[in-house]
Structure 1
């Protein structure tokens, strides 16, 4: 049965994610469950998409929704995020994220058939995808990493900024409200903080990152705040920066605007890595760390030019 998805202008308010074409589960080595959703055109090139720490891929629908006419979109949340059932705090680690990504890749090939595929990964998932490439080799045929907060090498001036930022993010995450009476309460918080997001993205992300607790009637964080804080705190391995130029998978960095007055460290990190490594790089003007939710069309065009170079763009792209 084909997926129903009316066309929508990029700047219109979107308040829900349509039902997937197909949903299935993958069980991780320690029993954690990841629910994988296939959207879009199964005859098109396959794109894997995932999210940043504490978030969920459904909240990025303004970015990936318009791709469904031409692309097969494989959307999934990392363990303990979004659609996935809660697992253990002990298993919520960077090494497991890397192994989980490989398990998801294998599960998709088993369930939907083997074909060439690219990964479009934001922030936390981008760091995990780069680490995955070095552990497992060329599983994906191309990677586009959106504003990945790769920990800077020793001696680089942005290292101090990133260290302070990740510590601040970890501290703030640990103090987040755990429950809400209504998702719109969280949506209002997002709207106050992220003023560049396209209309409707605040509500989409709120609903994507909360789950309903029938016992209390409240809406609680799908990813517990201490889990989110833990991932920010332990993103401190400079080894990836030092070797990323030798990534076994063709890789492009697409980042926020490093010239913004309120620039966040990941945008500076992307620019610095590109300057040192020569990796393909593009900054989207007037965007922050959430470029995919601020300028979705421009953010994908930056990826699609790279996909085309590797035979992974849709016909006519």
Structure 2
């Protein structure tokens, strides 16, 4: 019997899509990573990596747009959704890269990979790995950055400087419980992570996912990875075609990060800054994000994919 689904809304366009197949892969350190497969079995393959405090449920509206024409693989980062929490020393960019590489090996075909926020950092962390060079035809980086996250975040309404940095480090790294999803809590989440025009449905969808993330997991990733992130040196090795998407009103990873990425990537296919949108663009503008993924598939992933049988590291869920 599979474990209960992580927190999420249960109806409407932001509710999770039932997976065609579910399985686990084993990462380099033995961590078990929950994976879902959606869409057409014979379609070109897309791999989706979600961000901090999220889960596969976060990608639900994007999966809906892609499923008719693509084979879509989404996975839970360790400690999120249905992937168990990491052991000691397991909250690192190396671990993120290891987990993605395990998923890529299980995919059994060349893919386009899309990463949102910490998922984008995962893609950057894996740059240069053999699995990336052999299996990834192109990538999309959404609402992410490679360094200076707390220095350039504008979640705290303060002028740039040491005080804002310290406040943001304390808030993002807090292990205090978020409590139940309430109208006030949704408004706070919208301020921090979404554009001002985000709908109540979008706010609730994001809030239920974020509030379901275990508080120790949330704090560990913030403290051990986000607060000290520096992947600038990896960008030169991310030498496949890469598109970059940002939200104009993103407070967590403002567009300055996207512009810096676009300037540093060896083969940036384009930078899209979405007017009025915040950090959660796969929920705020799922069709736009899905279209960006589909364009990379069309332009850089030839054929319909050739999924091979599951590798030994793959474990099917009953």
TM-score (normalised: structure 2): 0.75
Aligned pair count reads: 280
Q: Greater relative contact order: 1 or 2 (C-alpha under 8 angstroms, separation 6 or more)?
A: 2
SS in 1 for 2:59: helix
Residues 1:281 and 2:270 aligned together: yes
| Candidates 128, 132, 135, aligned match of 2:126 | 132
For residues 191-233 of structure 1, the C-alpha deviation after alignment (integer angstroms, 9 at most, x for no partner) is 564344455333333443455xxxxxxx954834233332211
For residues 254-293 of structure 1, the C-alpha deviation after alignment (integer angstroms, 9 at most, x for no partner) is 2223xx5x76544112123324556222322222222222
Name the residue aligned to 1:147.
143
Structure 1, unaligned runs of 5 or more: 1-11, 153-157, 212-218
Structure 2, unaligned runs of 5 or more: 1-10, 154-159, 305-318
Aligned counterparts, 1:93-242, within 5 A = 93-106=92-105, 108-109=106-107, 114-136=108-130, 137-138=132-133, 139-151=135-147, 161=152, 169-178=168-177, 180=179, 182-183=180-181, 187=186, 189-191=188-190, 193=192, 194=194, 195-209=196-210, 220-221=214-215, 223-241=217-235
SS in 2 for 1:23: strand
Name the residue aligned to 1:21.
20
Write the distance in 2 (CA, Å) between the matches of 1:148 and 1:58: 19
**Deviates most, 87-96 or 30-39:** 87-96
Q: CA deviation at 1:116?
A: 2.4
Closer, same or farther: CA 62–312 of 1 in aligned 2, 3 Å: farther
Write the distance in 2 (CA, Å) between the matches of 1:15 and 1:225: 26
TM-score (normalised: structure 1): 0.75
Q: Is the 8 A contact 1:54 1:228 kept in 2?
A: no
Aligned counterparts, 1:237-316, within 5 A = 237-241=231-235, 243=236, 247-257=238-248, 260=249, 265-275=253-263, 277=265, 279-283=268-272, 284-311=274-301
Note the aligned Cα RMSD (angstroms): 3.3
Closer, same or farther: CA 25–232 of 1 in aligned 2, 3 Å: same
Q: CA deviation at 1:248?
A: 3.2
